[in-house]
Structure 1
Amino acid sequence: MKRMFAPHGLTLAALTLAVAPFAAPMMPAAAQAGQSDLSRVNAYIRAVTTMTADFAQTDRNGQTLTGRLTIKQPGKIRFQYQKGVPLLIVGDGKALTMIDYEVRQVQRWPIGNSPLGALIDPNKDLSKFGKVIQTGDPTVLSVQARDPRRPEYGTITMIFKRDAGSPAGLQLYGWVALDSQNNRTAVKLSNQRYGVPVADSAFRWTDPRPKGRSAGG
């Protein structure tokens, strides 16, 4: 699904900069600040043991889907879509699975092959494959992550609001992911909660395929 959004507090111009494939060369002081920001994002990802949030995905035609996001480190993620949308996306720590209950289809791929791997793998070091994208707003931090050795894994641009009360001083407001087929998915978050109890059963799912095995849930 192709999604676009304008995160709260960001202008469309700032978002355009956030998803630009190349940033302007940074001066030494800016480069040093960029490395500090990358370290802060690393600290955020490692500090978030669990998180829940509401999410909204809006495509370029103005269609919006909403739902509930659940994260549990390492590597577990669940996108539960709004009532009436027969889709579910689950990451179990090793792979991401997209289940379409309407057509009874299941697609599965390694988390490391997805742009989301940069967000839900606390062992990744963003200083090796991430860069800060200038937004023009000192309260907003935008970081683009792409493995140069594996361009087919796509790109993710994570957008944070500086917030002293959040893990590592950052609040994740959303991201824009671009896969190898140039399919863009944008997600905006709200009502973020950290450190909440999350059972492993939240990352199980029922296989809808005929004669398929059940994965729980």
Structure 2
Amino acid sequence: MIRFAPAAALVAVAAAIPSASAQQGDLAAVQAHLRSVDSMTAAFSQTDRAGKVLTGTLTLKKPGRIRFQYEKGVPILIVGDGKAIWFLDYSVGQRSRWPIGDSPLGVLIDPSRDISKYAKVVPSGSPNVLSVEAYDAKRPEYGRITMIFERQASAPGGLMLQGWVALDSQKNRTTVRLSNQRFNVPVSDNTFRFNDPRRGTRRN
């Protein structure tokens, strides 16, 4: 089992910088992984900047669909329905919407993206761990995401996604760790439907 370092350490720039050829090879491997994954399910553990931990189930289906189903008793849901990312808070009856391209999560669910144009490899401290930071300098309001992979020959593209660290435009940091990952499994489109918290109606 891979062990995560503290979130700050995951994105720190170490003294050793990968060579240009190593960068290109590692980015190509990440691109191959992302393009070979059509769907995924996993358990997740999410830690916010205050240290609060929430758990739940992640379901992903390309293009554009993702669902963070939190543990029982948490009145929050995050869903990507193919067009947008929705943040739903049922405790106060509110919702927020972002185009998929405006979210750091877009790198995981948009197979058309060429990450070589806006991503770089950052030192991980282990030859078996590959860390890639995706950030569009022209769109800083979109935030950034550092994806953590473990090299595994049996995983899609030879990489196993272990989680990520997301930093939004307000500098709020969220660390997500995955376990029990399953790739390219059948996932129903109904998984990404949700009830509008403002009216209690169901949305496709």
Matched residues, number: 204
Name the residue aligned to 2:11. 19
Q: Given the two structures, how large is their TM-score scaled by the length of structure 1?
A: 0.88
The root-mean-square deviation of aligned C-alpha atoms, in Å, is: 1.9
Instruction: State TM-score, norm by structure 2.
Output: 0.93
SS at match of 2:161: strand
8 A contact 1:17–1:133 mirrored in 2: no
* Unpaired stretches in structure 1, ≥5 consecutive residues: 1-6
Match of 1:63 in 2: 52
**Distance (Å, rounded) in 2 between the aligned partners of 1:16 and 1:186:** 10
Instruction: Call closer, same or farther: CA 1:121–1:23 in 2, change over 3 Å.
Output: farther
- Inter-partner Cα distance in structure 2 for 1:189 and 1:163: 15
Q: Percent identity?
A: 59
- Partner AA of 2:185 in structure 1: V
Give the SS at the match of 1:45.
helix
Residue 81 of structure 1 pairs with residue 73 of structure 2: no
Bigger proportion of residues as strand: 2
Q: Provide the secondary structure at the position in 2 that maps to 1:135.
A: coil
Give 1:146 shift: 0.5
Output the CA distance in 2 between the equivalents of 1:147 and 1:25. Answer: 23
Go from structure 1 to structure 2 and tell me whether the alpha carbon gap of 1:60 and 1:149 turns closer, same or farther (over 3 Å shift): closer
Q: Does structure 2 retain, via aligned residues, the 8 Å contact 1:174–1:187?
A: yes
Q: Secondary structure at the match of 1:142?
A: strand
Map 1:14-163 to 2 at 5 A.
Answer: 15-20=7-12, 26=17, 30-163=19-152
Q: Distance in 1 between matches of 2:147 and 2:112?
A: 17
How many Å separate the matches in 1 of 2:11 and 2:201?
39
Aligned position for 1:215: 203
What runs of 5+ residues in structure 2 fail to find an aligned partner? none
